[in-house]
Amino acid sequence: MSNPSILILPGDGIGPEVMAEVRHVIDWFGENRDLTFDVSEDLVGGAAYDVHGVPLADATMERAQGADAVLLGAVGGPRYDELDFQLKPERGLLRLRKEMDLYANLRPAQCFDALAEFSSLKADVVGGLDIMIVRELTSGVYFGEPRGIVKEGNERVGINTQRYTESEIARVARSAFDLARKRTGKVCSMEKANVMESGVLWREVVSEVHAAEYSDVVLSHMYADAGAMQLTRWPKQFDVIVTDNLFGDLLSDLAAMLTGSLGMLPSASLGAPMDNGRPKALYEPVHGSAPDIAGQGKANPVACILSFAMALRYSFDKGDEATRLERAVEAVLADGLRTPDLMGPEGGSPVSTAEMGDAVVAKLSASL
Ligand code: IPM
Ligand code: MG
């Protein structure tokens, strides 16, 4: 049987440098755990625009469709701000999500003990935090039609449409309930059913799926604004949160920051199973391309490394090896290694992107 394939799309800004560390980690698993992947690389975002004039070439899209997993670094940068909307780096990422139909976006917000002090909240509020936001990723206001900027009389009107079908809501709800069963068995669904019809339907469908298939899971509902408030007040009340595309975008940034650093958090975007039983999947750090620090060896590679851990767990059924990698990261942090984003106001001497990557690989070796 051929090796499972991974398509790496480093993208823009700090994407390539954090991805270089992930490649070391992938190599380590090949050399030490008999887990060899066929790894190939391609362009996305501004990097693709520079070469092909589009943020995602058709050939790259095809390769992504055929890969067992896609690992993406980050897209975007000020150089591309003036581009036509359809050519912006972000459109490349959105095309991947939409055409691969990656409807369930898993964004864990986990607070590493060694980093609890970096949160803007009190350490006892975030210490030990471990929640999972499941964001619907392929519909809602991000993709709804009609959309555009049109002329009405003598002024322009910007239009986007929030739209959800029952089946779109039901499938992401199932993803959330399935995950909850493997965790502490609690799901909180967030929408704005008090204001939006799409929210009314969201609440109804989530409740129906729950009653019919998942009555062992504890389900609650919250308006998304109240959810944001509760997330900052006492985040540990949550286990799995399921929400729509736009609310999920906002709430996952909020939840990420609770943990102290965006540079630490991975994500998985999963679709329906392929013929080989693996879900269509794309893994990426939650952080962006951070153009201000790109190319300086200052980026934290941990979020991208942990995204590969999620790939081991969700695409390759190697939960044990995923845990091994997550423990290696924890051990490095416990040793006090810090990239610049993890430096407190009192300072210290930060390590570089490559040093952080090397340290994780060394901890992996120590785990054998
Ligand atoms: C995210 C990002 C993207 C989004 C952008 C880059 C298109 O903010 O993954 O959260 O809005 O979904
Ligand atoms: Mg976002």
Model confidence over 184-203: pLDDT tens digits? Answer: 999 999 999 999 999 999 99
Q: Write down the mean pLDDT value for the chain.
A: 96
Question: Is the pLDDT at 113 greater than 90, yes or no?
Answer: no
Q: What is the pLDDT of residue 343?
A: 84
- Strand intervals (E) in the chain: 5-11, 38-41, 69-74, 104-110, 130-136, 144-152, 155-161, 186-191, 218-223, 240-243, 266-273, 279-285
Which ligand has the nearest atom to the CA of 98?
1
Q: Is 225 in the pocket of ligand 1 (CB under 6 A)?
A: no
Question: Is the pLDDT at 261 greater than 80, yes or no?
Answer: no
Q: pLDDT category, 88, cuts 50, 70, 90?
A: very high
146 CA distance to ligand 1 middle (Å): 21
Q: Whose CA is nearest to atom 12 of ligand 1?
A: 249
CA distance 206 to 196: 15
Pairing of strands 155-161, 186-191: unpaired
CA distance 277 to 197: 35
288 CA distance to ligand 2 middle (Å): 8
Cα pseudo-dihedral 327, 331, 332, 336, rounded to 10: 150
Q: Is 90 in the pocket of ligand 1 (CB under 6 A)?
A: yes
Cβ proximity of 236 and 204 under 8 Å: no
User: Mean of the pLDDT values across residues 355-360?
Assistant: 98
Give the percent of the chain with pLDDT over 90: 91
Question: Is the pLDDT at 262 greater than 80, yes or no?
Answer: no
Closest atom of ligand 1 relative to the 75 alpha carbon: 6
For 1-29, how does the pLDDT look when each residue is reduced to its tens digit (9 = 90+)? 789 999 999 999 999 999 999 999 999 99
* Weakest mean pLDDT among 28-42, 207-221, 297-311, 341-355: 341-355
User: Mean of the pLDDT values across residues 131-135?
Assistant: 97
User: Mean of the pLDDT values across residues 62-66?
Assistant: 97
Q: pLDDT category, 116, cuts 50, 70, 90?
A: confident
Closest atom of ligand 1 relative to the 252 alpha carbon: 10
Q: Whose CA is nearest to atom 6 of ligand 1?
A: 90
Question: Which residue has tokens 């790496």?
Answer: 8
Q: What angle, 0 to 180 degrees and rounded to 10, lies between the N-to-C axes of helices 302-314 and 353-366?
A: 40
19 CA distance to ligand 1 middle (Å): 19
Q: What is the pLDDT of residue 201?
A: 98
Q: Is 12 in the pocket of ligand 1 (CB under 6 A)?
A: no
Q: What is the pLDDT of residue 257?
A: 85
Residues found in the chain: 368
CA distance 264 to 112: 9
Closest CA to 163 of 191, 149, 143, 181: 143
Q: What is the pLDDT of residue 117?
A: 83
Active-site residue list:
142, 192, 225, 249, 253
For 141-186, how does the pLDDT look when each residue is reduced to its tens digit (9 = 90+)? 999 999 999 999 999 999 999 999 999 999 999 999 999 999 999 9
Closest atom of ligand 1 relative to the 90 alpha carbon: 7
CA distance 230 to 237: 8
249 CA distance to ligand 1 middle (Å): 7
CA distance 356 to 344: 17
